[in-house]
Chains A and B, each alone.
Chain A
Amino acid sequence: MAKIENGTIDEVRKVVYEFFSEECEVAIDELNDDTNVIKDLEGDSLMFLELLEIFKKKYGLNVELKTVGKYVVKHPAETIGAIIRMTMLIIEHENRIAELE
């Protein structure tokens, strides 16, 4: 389980914004927490998978895709803000994310 530090959310935010900016070829200042990845950026699940792999490597996370998938079914994350919040939960709880309500 990665230790959540003061700067972690800023790091996550930076990675997420840069990722979608590059992947969807949209200027970073055109993105905000309410940007809908599916509807506004035409994103898809492969992008989410890629982002997850980035964070797994960055923080050495032990989390199974299936576990995240089960969480996503209950708590869909379609906006950039929601993805950042979910990423923070994954970093904090790893596989225990499935136990969260």
Chain B
Amino acid sequence: MRTGSPNWNKLTLVNILERKKTAVIFPAFGCKYLGNERELLEGMSGDLRELAVRAKAAVGLDADRLLSCRDGGFDDELESQYAVYIYSCAVSSVIKRSGIHTDFAAGYSMGLYAALCHAESITFEQGLSLIATAYRGIRNVAASLPFGVGVISGFTQEEVNVLIDGRDDVEIINVNNRHNLLIAGYESNVKDILAKAREQGALNCKYLTFHSPYHSRFMDSAADKFREYCETLTIYDPVYPVISTVDRRAMTTWNDVAMDLADNINRNINWLETMSVLIDAGVDAFIECGPGRSLQRMAKFMDGDFEVYHLQNLRLLLSSERVCQSARAFN
């Protein structure tokens, strides 16, 4: 029992009871960069450069090139994935060092690797290796057939399901929010669904430039190989629950994580439901750890009373009384 401050216990209890929950969320590659991520991060810590150097040692990534590419416009998809991961891990380090308590973590698509690194379930270097292995496995499968991915804005999941109408060659691979989702399948069929959606009043239908149908059953064989690779790794229990985007489970053991890593390759994900689970669990502050603010923008079409902080406004959060109270209550 602490002494010298008669109100301490009462105040701390109030802080804990009143304290809202915080979730850290991690974007995937393809997100639009703000353009000043490097300056923002370097103004807060030296983590970005240090992680870039570690990535160079681990996977041969050109650290200088990574740091000089302000808009995230990497020609190579793998390099683009590495970059998002490194930026994400750098923000994660800042969050941890600032004393912000994490209640939950979640990663959008390949953001899973950074979420697991944040939760100390995998190491930074393991994350890089998982990214490379998943990418190569997926490319091997996708290269043999004409696959495609498209995004539809302005239609609900139900409306897109009507368009798909039981066809097993196209599937919804991710629901971003109630007005925006991704489909994948054979190129011609994806283009056909996009055209139909446009004709029926979807506000925007876009065929994406990357052609790997992530999170779809077309990746079953890649997932099997990736599962075998994951079995060779030492994975730790996450220190914070990580919410699965595949089935919205709170992952708390290494076994949960190992299973989800492989499922993330070939099973549909649902970001809207993942965020809803977090909001229902009492999360009222999300911290988007990574370049850009794509997750903050997606969250605008989700119900609930919450804020999404991103790199641009992170300083606001770091200096807020709320975080100071949260840190005092838990540290």
Contact = CB atoms under 8 A, between A and B. Distances in A.
A46 B198 contact: no
Interface in B179-231: 179-180, 198-204
Interface string B132-158: 000000000000000000000111000
Interface residues of A, number: 17
Nearest to B202: A69
Nearest to B200: A66
Contacts of A45: 153-154, 203-204
Contacts of B204: 44-45
A68 B202 CA distance: 9
Contacts of A42: 32
Given A65-B201, A65-B203, A66-B201, A46 B32 contact: no
A48 B203 contact: yes
B154 A67 contact: no
A19 to B, nearest CB: 12
A46 B201 contact: no
A24 B202 CA distance: 23
Given A46-B180, A49-B301, A50-B300, A68 B203 contact: yes
A100 interface: no
Contacts of A53: 301
A70 interface: yes
Interface string B280-300: 000000000000000001101
Nearest to A44: B204
A67 B180 CA distance: 17
A67 to B, nearest CB: 7
Residue among A65, A67, A68, A69 with most chain B CB within 10 A: A69
B106 to A, nearest CB: 20
Interface string B34-59: 00000000000000000000000000
Contacts, number: 51
Contacts of B200: 66, 69-70
Interface string A38-55: 000010111011100100
Given A42-B32, A49-B154, A65-B179, A72 B203 contact: yes
A69 B201 contact: yes
Q: How large is the interface on B (under 10, 10 to 19, 20 to 34, 35 or more residues)?
A: 10 to 19
Contacts of B202: 66, 69
Contact of A46 (B155, B159, B199, B300): B300
A97 to B, nearest CB: 11
B153 A49 contact: yes
Contacts of B198: 69, 73
Contacts of A65: 154-155, 179, 201, 203
Given A65-B154, A65-B179, A66-B154, A49 B203 contact: yes
A27 B43 CA distance: 24
A64 B156 CA distance: 12
Chain B CB count within 10 A is highest, among A42, A46, A48, A53, for A46
Contacts of B298: 46
Contacts of B179: 46, 49, 65
Given A46-B297, A46-B300, A70 B201 contact: yes
A65 B197 CA distance: 12
A69 B199 CA distance: 9
21 contacts: A42-B32, A45-B153, A45-B154, A45-B203, A46-B153, A46-B179, A46-B180, A46-B298, A50-B300, A64-B201, A65-B203, A66-B155, A66-B159, A66-B201, A68-B154, A68-B201, A68-B203, A69-B198, A69-B201, A73-B199, A73-B201
Interface of B: 32, 153-155, 159, 179-180, 198-204, 297-298, 300-301
Given A53-B301, A69-B202, A70-B201, 14 more contacts: A44-B204, A45-B153, A45-B154, A45-B203, A45-B204, A46-B179, A46-B297, A46-B300, A46-B301, A65-B155, A65-B201, A67-B201, A68-B201, A69-B154
Which 3 residue pairs across A and B have the least CB separation, nearest first? A45-B204, A66-B201, A69-B201
